[in-house]
């Protein structure tokens, strides 16, 4: 009865939250389930004369009906959206203003930083996932095999939560803000079976593995692009101030014609602008990938 009542409440709450962000729905369901189950356990311990149905009804009335909770979550989400979330409404700027305005867009700098930072996280995630799976396979025949496997899956869920917070902070994509709730009433074996069968344990592992090649691609791409742009901007300075020729061999030396100097600077600036727009574009694409693999109800 207890499980049926709570599951029915969660089903109604999910229905009321239809249309909300998937991360918001996951947080709302986790909050509600944790509150209801924890409060019910405490109520039955403190007042054993109460039936489960009466105790659960009282707790649900105090917590709020699904429409009320859904409305409250919608209001909160509208007020505390990620700081770098994409704007939903156009600001009336022309295409030229939007192109050059990327220099003043904090989302471009945050996405560019994430592209570089992803190489570090990609190495860490890949190493953790592959090493953990290898150790789990090796420990499978030992008595510590199952406990180690459970701890490894819990660590995967924890890393997914941390990565989600990084993505929300740098890419402006709404991600889960609380850990996955594991009901205690099922016992150790019941929780282990849920942990193994839960998509939230396996989909993040796929994400951690693919982060290594993605991190390498992101890092290499933007190092090359930024180097090219900065080279174009800085070349006139290097040639005129430090007397570095454009081409130098044992037989001749070639300097850049004066009329080409402004072109180098213009091309370099435009290339950096394109690079920053590319960072925003890849940031949105990566956020969608993370959303698909790290946000599971």
Alpha-carbon dihedral angle through residues 133, 134, 138, 140, given to the nearest 10 degrees: 10
* pLDDT mean over 193-210: 89
User: Do 14 and 54 sit in the same domain of this protein?
Assistant: yes
- Whether residue 88 is contained in a domain is answered as no
Is 0.75 topped by the overall pTM?
yes
Q: Which range among 45-54, 146-155, 184-193 shows the weakest confidence by mean pLDDT? A: 184-193
Question: Per the domain annotation, does 280 fall within a domain?
Answer: yes
The answer to whether residues 150 and 190 belong to one domain is: yes
* 195 belongs to a structural domain: yes
Of 81, 116, 135, which one is at a domain's C-terminal end? 81
Q: Are 164 and 175 in contact (CB under 8 A)?
A: yes
Section 168-180 average pLDDT: 90
Residue 90 pLDDT > 60: no
Q: Is the pLDDT score of 1 beyond 50?
A: no
Which domain covers residue 231, as residue numbers?
99-297
Q: Give the number of other CB atoms < 10 A from CB of residue 46.
A: 9
Instruction: Give the mean model confidence (pLDDT) for residues 54-72.
Output: 89
Q: Say if residue 22 is in the same domain as residue 136.
A: no
Find the mean pLDDT for residues 227-239. Answer: 84
In a domain, 50, yes or no: yes
Single residue among 81, 111, 144 that ends a domain in this structure:
81
- Whether the per-residue pLDDT at 235 is higher than 70: the answer is yes
Same domain, 168 and 259: yes
Query: Do residues 149 and 222 share a domain?
Result: yes
How far apart CA 205 and CA 75 sit, in angstroms, is 33
Q: Are residues 65 and 147 in the same domain?
A: no
* Total tally of structural domains belonging to the chain: 2
Percent of the chain with pLDDT over 90: 46
Q: Which of 51, 81, 111 is the last residue of a domain?
A: 81
Given a cut of 90, is residue 286 above it in pLDDT?
A: yes
């Amino acid at each position: 009865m207890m499980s049926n009542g709570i599951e029915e409440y969660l089903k109604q709450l999910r229905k009321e939250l239809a249309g909300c962000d998937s991360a918001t729905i996951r947080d709302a369901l986790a909050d509600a389930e944790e509150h209801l189950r924890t409060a019910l356990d405490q109520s039955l311990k403190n007042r054993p004369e109460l039936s489960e149905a009466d105790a659960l009804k009282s707790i649900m009335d105090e917590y709020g009906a699904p429409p009320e909770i859904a409305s409250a979550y919608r209001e909160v989400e509208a007020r505390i959206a990620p700081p770098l979330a994409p704007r939903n409404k156009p600001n009336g700027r022309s295409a030229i203003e939007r192109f050059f305005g990327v220099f003043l867009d904090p989302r471009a700098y945050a996405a560019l930083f994430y592209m570089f930072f992803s190489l570090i996280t990609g190495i860490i995630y890949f190493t953790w996932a592959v090493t953990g799976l290898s150790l789990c396979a090796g420990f499978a025949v030992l008595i510590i095999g199952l406990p180690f496997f459970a701890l490894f899956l819990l660590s995967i869920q924890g890393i997914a939560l941390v990565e989600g917070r990084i993505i929300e902070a740098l890419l402006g994509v709404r991600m889960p803000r609380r850990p996955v709730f594991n009901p205690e009433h099922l016992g150790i074996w019941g929780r282990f079976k849920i942990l193994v069968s839960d998509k939230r344990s396996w989909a993040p592992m796929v994400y951690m593995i693919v982060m290594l090649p993605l991190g390498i691609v992101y890092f290499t791409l933007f190092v090359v692009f930024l180097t090219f742009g900065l080279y174009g901007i800085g070349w006139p300075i290097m040639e005129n101030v430090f007397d570095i020729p454009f081409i130098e061999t044992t037989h001749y030396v070639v300097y850049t014609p004066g009329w080409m100097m402004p072109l180098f600077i213009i091309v370099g600036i435009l290339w950096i602008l394109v690079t920053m727009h590319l960072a925003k574009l890849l940031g949105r694409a990566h956020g969608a990938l993370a959303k698909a693999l790290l946000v599971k109800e």
